[in-house]
Amino acid sequence: MSDLFGVEAAPATLPLSERVRPADFTQLLGEADLFAPGSPFRKGAESDALGSLILWGPPGCGKTTVARLLKGHSKRPWRTLSAVESGLPDLRKLLEEANGLRRLGSKAPRLFIDEIHRFNKAQQDALLPAVESGMVLLVGATTENPSYSLNPALVSRCQVFHLQSLQGEHLENLVRRAWSSPEGLGRDDELSSGAVGQILSLAQGDARASLNLLEWCVATLDAGQELSAEHVNACAQRRPVAYDRTGDGRYQSISAFHKSIRGSDPQAAAYWLGRMLEGGEDPVYVARRLIRMASEDVGLADPQALGICIAARDACEHLGMPECALALMQAAIHLALAPKSNSLELAWDAVRQAVRTHGELPIPNAFVNAVTKFDKRRGVGQGYLYDHDSPNGYSGQNHLPEGLWGEVFWKPVERGFERELKKRLDWFEARREPQSHPMEDREP
């Protein structure tokens, strides 16, 4: 176990990000609605009236800082666990301590758990009764969407606060404050706008990353050398793209990609594709999603789309990255610019509903194969008309079970190739036999 809040002073040996950490709510940047004077969160924190809560947000957005401020205002015992370093025995020990405090009439302690999404099911299940009974007041910090990563019962007993990355002027103010403040670098020279801009670009909203980069850049300056954008680049090299291949970020990215294609926005589709691939996403996973989109959002409005996406999947399996990236780009842009139709998805939903509603209706006798002589003597298969022997190669028979005659599952749209398919459908339907029993008026 480690106490993330055990440092009372800010000695020069601490990292810059630790030395300039806000000491009160007035120093927090961003999240004006959440932390402003008089806001529910601020009032609850300052009066120690908050219940169990979860702080959710990307790395470097200030979750630990907010938790530290909550500790400063808390009139309760405060305990800390790191889900990365602690196991079930550590958690049970703290819960036993909390139970002992309750028996003594003490206030329930606040329990801060960093990276709480890393707790497994057994650990979360062990924590749930203590949170539910109020034996502990939970303060959890997570980079993952609690709806996906935490026990729903645990989440339902907590207030979830969503923190955002610092952007624009807020992140710039943080960097400049760290540059000049006595507890920071204590510099009295000017920090160039080019250097600040490059730091912000590389940090991608991560406050901790921006301060770590600033500290490293200053440490490598020669005497009298100005911090320039070029020096920042030389120090940073190439920061990996922030992308979570296993958590909520992955599914939000693929969702944005899918919606860009559905919205016929090839520029956005190209961007989200590149962002995922640059972040290390499996190209075959992207290809599989494109194959789904080809049928879900384009379908028969452009029948070639499915084949192009399957070919892109084959390119991923045979070539791998980076060679297959262009094949994925080709498929994504083709889908984005293709006419759109969700008629296949609607038809599939309608068919599933019919199957669930009506069960296994009998197959019409005319379409059952007469396998044995006994079947033939019973008249199995009688009434079937061989379409190739009919005028225009079309018999017009109703092939649905009798209980579903007249049902329409697939409805073409007036877009793309489905316009042509609708003409064909109308031609066939106009010549389909009246919806009477298929054996009526048939010669044996």
Chain-centroid distance of CA 74 in Å reads 34
pLDDT band at 141 (very low <50, low <70, confident <90, very high): very high
pTM of the model: 0.62
Which CATH number is 31-162 given? 3.40.50.300
Percent of the chain with pLDDT strictly greater than 70: 92
Q: CATH class for domain 168-236?
A: mainly alpha
- Pinpoint the residues of the chain covered by CATH 1.20.272.10: 248-337
Residues 15-37 pLDDT 10s: 998 898 888 888 888 776 788 88
Query: In the chain, where does the domain assigned CATH 1.10.8.60 lie?
Result: 168-236
Q: Give the mean pLDDT of 363-377.
A: 87
Residue with tokens 């999404």: 117
Looking at residue 111, its pLDDT comes to 93
For residue 336, give every residue at least 6 positions away whose Cβ sits within 8 Å of its Cβ, in sequence order, or none.
Answer: 260, 261, 264, 265, 266, 269
pLDDT mean across residues, the chain: 87
How is residue 241 written in tokens?
A: 């793209």
Q: Cite the residue boundaries of each domain of the chain with CATH code 3.40.50.300.
A: 31-162
Alpha carbon dihedral 254, 260, 263, 266, in 10-degree steps, equals -140
What does the block give as tokens for 209?
A: 């990353």
Tokens coding 144: 């993952």
Residues 173-197 pLDDT 10s: 899 999 999 989 988 888 989 999 8
Q: What share of the chain is helix, strand, coil (3-state, %, to 5)?
A: 55, 5, 40
Highest mean pLDDT range out of 71-85, 308-322, 425-439? Answer: 308-322
Extract the tokens encoding 34.
């959440």
From the options 1.20.272.10, 1.20.1260.10, 1.10.1060.10, 3.40.50.300, give the CATH code of 248-337.
1.20.272.10
Phi-psi region of 205 (alpha: psi -120 to 50; beta: other; left: phi over 0): left
Q: What is the mean pLDDT of residues 136-147?
A: 91
* Cα–Cα distance, 183 to 203 (Å, whole number): 22
